[in-house]
Amino acid sequence: MPGATIESGLLPPSASLPLRLARNALTLLRRAVDGILLLLLAAMILLVLAQVVCRYGFNRSIPGGDEAATFAQIWMVLLGAGYAMRQRLHVAIELVIERLPAGLARLLLVPVTGLCLWFLWVVFQGGLLLMQVGAWQTSPGLQIPMDMPYAMLPVGAAYFALEVVLAFGAAILGLEPVTSGGGVRVD
């Protein structure tokens, strides 16, 4: 599709209804992830600030406050990995790919994508196993079932896999350049 890119979200007027629905669902999911990341960051900051004030100002601590901040950070990091993939902020070694012809570089991205998805599948499955074990345990501070914090592994891996497929798929199909430049540069 000429003119259609993943980042801009542009679709030709002749795009089919399922394609438009998929684009809208993706936009909604990404907005939800952005909102959740902001809420998790705010919760983590507020919890740590309140904990510091209570400990040093009133010589008391908030029961479960540090644990809740830790869980928020874990969720934020694992969801944030998918967000970073969307923004092309992951560190990448592009030296080889930049020197290859575009067609060969796209071909090289196929096994790279496969390896990334395999790794995320392993994380997804391991997260499901941890959730099964965690259902029998409770966290020491909050007394919540540990399958709730462990749920972030399969959720984060699934979201990351979606962003990997979109990013690498667009490059493989020629909708975006093979090297995006990313946000991490040491020039």
Of the pLDDT bands very low, low, confident and very high (cuts 50, 70, 90), residue 51 is very high
Q: How high is the pLDDT of residue 33?
A: 96
Tokens 């040491």, located at residue = 186
What are the pLDDT digits (tens) for 82-112? 999 998 888 777 777 878 888 898 898 899 8
Q: How high is the pLDDT of residue 186?
A: 39
The answer to whether residues 163 and 186 touch, using CB atoms and an 8 Å cutoff, is: no
Query: At a CB cut-off of 8 Å and minimum separation 6, what does 89 contact?
Result: 182, 183, 184
Average pLDDT, the chain: 86
3-state DSSP assignment of residue 138: strand
Nearest-angstrom CA–CA distance, 110 and 169: 9
Tokens 């798929």, located at residue = 169
